[in-house]
Amino acid sequence: MLIKDVASPINLRKPEDAVQWVEPLNTYDVIIMHQALHELRHKSYALDFHKIVKTQLLKAQSTYLICDHLFAESAMTNNEIYMSKQEHLVRLQQAGFTQIEIPLEIKGLCIFECH
């Protein structure tokens, strides 16, 4: 069960509510997020989201893969929702990921592989 009580929605944008979301979950060897990080609707929520993934959802020695649109002149232009490549890297480092690679970048989409 992913959410404790489906009758009362959980606001994942608020860290105190996000804790309710992760409590019933297990830990994982791999977490893949594909074109969904920007759905938090403001890039300021990304750091707390990554911290929850790192500290509560991933097992030690696990992999976190994120593919999302980049804020760039040739890509997405809403800098409140989309982050630049550098902003992604900084948020991931701030969340505690020490090994971050970019295995692929195509037409404004970027994959970040974090350990």
pLDDT at 22 over 80: no
Count CB-CB contacts under 10 A for residue 45.
Answer: 17
Split at pLDDT 50, 70, 90, the class of 75 is confident
pLDDT at 4 over 60: no
Q: How far is CA 51 from CA 13, 15, 109, in A?
A: 13, 10, 22
Q: Strand, helix or coil at 12?
A: coil
From the list 109, 29, 30, the residue with the least C-alpha distance to 70 is: 109
Residue with structure tokens 């974090």? Answer: 114
* pLDDT computed for residue 40 by the predictor: 85
* Torsion sign over Cα 29, 9, 95, 56: negative
Split at pLDDT 50, 70, 90, the class of 38 is confident
